[in-house]
Amino acid sequence: MSMQPSGPNEVPVETVRVARAAFPKGSLAIRVRDELGPLFRDEEFADLFPSRGKPAWSPGRLALVSVLQFVEGLTDRQAAEAVRARIDFKYALGLELGDPGFDFSVLSEFRDRLVQADAGRRVLDGILTAAGEKGLLKTAGRARTDSTHVLTAAREVAWLERVAETLRSALNTLAQAAPDWLVEVAEPDWFKHYATRAEDSRFPKARAKRDEMGLRIGRDGTRLLQAVWSRHAPRDLRELPQVEHLRRMWVQNFHEVEGEVRRRDPKDRPPGATCLVSPYDMEARNSLKRDTAWAGYKVHLTETCDPGAPNLITNVATTNATVPDFSMTEAVHARLAETGRLPGEHLVDAGYIDAHVLVSARREYGLTLTGPVAGIVSHQAAAGGGFTADDFTIDWAAEQVTCPGGKTATCWNPDHSPEGTPVIRVRFKGGDCRPCPVREQCTTSSVGRRLTLRPRAEHEALRQARAEQDTDTWKERYKTRAGVEGTISQAAQRCGLRRSRYRGLAKTALQHQLTGAAINLARIDAHLTDTPRARTRTSHFAALRPAELTLDGAK
């Protein structure tokens, strides 16, 4: 299927007449078309289609249909039906009234093309570009970022079903790739146990029987893997994704002890960041954040937050569930810089901040990263009244540190933390510390006080941030960050942000790009119609709370 660029995409006169009559007050699709124009040109997606072949339906229009589909929460069939039957959709797309539209399967094919070319960002960027041209996007002011969990589209399964389904999936793939070879190596019982989905079978209730069944599945999978890696097997079988998935699942769950396949003890299994959790979604991972545990992914949303304009999502980043927030801060800044949408101030929560990103945000991008930084972690700080690192005088040029007792340490050793970040190890002599009159406030070590410092720029950035965040001015400014939680709530309730529609990281990332684009259209429409923003909901009982009570209910 090839792409055939369409013309200027003006709205036909008859479509305009009927749409104005049917929607005298307009609709989201009509208002967005009037304000922003066609939004997408076919040429923006030219690389997704071959130059020869059957002409494709306009990819620029398909991009807009995909966004409108997420705005209204439509299935592919419903979206295709809306293009055929709804006047406001035809208006937004610039179609004749009699245009038959397309088969619903075209939407899935278009998404596949977007995924293969990592082109989902083009859809979000197209709306942001149009909004910028109309003065609806302000990027030089402030922006805020937060993340939330995303559940995998694959259903959760118990351990026994997980390994059984992984083996069945690998057998089905091998049956397609090398049927003659598989017939030779498959054992008769395999057709009994793995020809149908595991959920169609009845697993034994007794613990001993279930353990026995698990070991039988483990032995069968091990024999299949040994056959695939034998010199008689076609070498390309080892490259099949489902076979690699089987291999990793078996390494995670089984091992051989004196020639016998055994289930691994939990202590012997790989770390959570690499553990497979689903036979159907190879990239989903388990994660835990405070009281929320989930299997799937994580999404980071960045939006503008200046008054006088709609708050538009300027960046969407989807990661594995185990990726920590602070590792995404620089990635978000790099993406915003690439698109020319860097804010002057970036509001984030504590998860996105460490000393390194505080410095790099200012040095590399010229922006202020604002968020609560962690306090000093030490037993002296925890005990209260003890001397922390902030009580020591540092001479960076001479590479010396003077303690509150007046002693100077010259043992200054550049090093790296267990996480690989640069640090400086400082050690005072035990002979100086033992007779010190303020030793009890400083250290209990017989070998002398030790300090771990960040490089100078990071050390000073942390001290400044800790001092600022205790001021009323900083607290008042930081209140704006809380609004991004409302954006996540809107995206979750309107577009199903917290559950992936598809399997795999790439398709889930596309879903989130389309979600960001859909929220932006909805917010632009709300801005055009002067729709007030919803206030934070307060329950009837909470509204009765006496003013003298604190948030935790204590006086």
The pLDDT tens digits of the residues spanning 140-179 come to 899 999 999 999 998 888 899 999 999 999 999 999 999 9
DSSP three-state, residue 494? helix
pLDDT the model gives residue 378: 65
380 confidence band (pLDDT: 50, 70, 90): low
Question: Above 50 in pLDDT, residue 555?
Answer: no
Residue 446 in tokens:
């017989």
DSSP three-state, residue 299? strand
Find tokens 């009890």 and name the residue.
440
Question: Above 60 in pLDDT, residue 549?
Answer: no
245 confidence band (pLDDT: 50, 70, 90): very high
375 confidence band (pLDDT: 50, 70, 90): confident
Nearest to 350 by CA among 457, 466, 492, 512: 466
Residue 314 in tokens:
């300027």
pLDDT the model gives residue 161: 93
Question: Above 50 in pLDDT, residue 434?
Answer: yes
pLDDT the model gives residue 510: 97
Nearest to 92 by CA among 41, 35, 29: 29
Beta bridge partners of 422: 416
Alpha-carbon torsion, ordered 11, 15, 17, 21, to 10 deg? -120
Residue range 210-215: mean pLDDT, rounded: 94
Residues of the chain with pLDDT > 70, as a percent, come to: 94
Phi, psi of 150 (to 5 degrees): -135, 120
Nearest to 217 by CA among 160, 154, 256, 288: 160
Task: Provide, for the chain, the percentages of residues in helix, strand and coil under a 3-state DSSP scheme, each rounded to the nearest 5.
Answer: 50, 15, 40
Question: Above 50 in pLDDT, residue 3?
Answer: no
Q: Work out the mean pLDDT of the chain and round it to a whole number.
A: 90
Count Cβ atoms below 10 Å from residue 16 Cβ, excluding itself.
14
pTM: 0.88
Q: Which of 133-142, 518-527, 535-544 has the highest mean pLDDT?
A: 518-527
pLDDT the model gives residue 532: 84
Q: Which residues of 149-168 are buried (b: 16+ CB within 10 A; e: fewer)?
A: bbbbbbeebeebbbbbbbbb
Question: Above 90 in pLDDT, residue 272?
Answer: no
Question: Above 60 in pLDDT, residue 1?
Answer: no
DSSP three-state, residue 399? coil
Q: Give CA separation, 74 vs 22, 68, 81, 453, 500, in Å.
A: 21, 8, 10, 54, 15
Rounded to a whole number, what is the distance in angstroms from the first to the last CA of the chain? 70
pLDDT the model gives residue 79: 97
83 confidence band (pLDDT: 50, 70, 90): very high
Q: Which residues contact 202 (CB under 8 A, 6 or more apart)?
A: none
Whole-angstrom Cα distance, residue 285 to residue 28? 37
**pLDDT tens readout for residues 20-59:** 999 999 999 999 999 999 999 999 998 888 766 566 789 9
User: Beta 142-151 vs 345-347: how paired, if at all?
Assistant: parallel
How many alpha carbons lie under 13 Å from residue 253 in its C-beta half-sphere?
Answer: 27
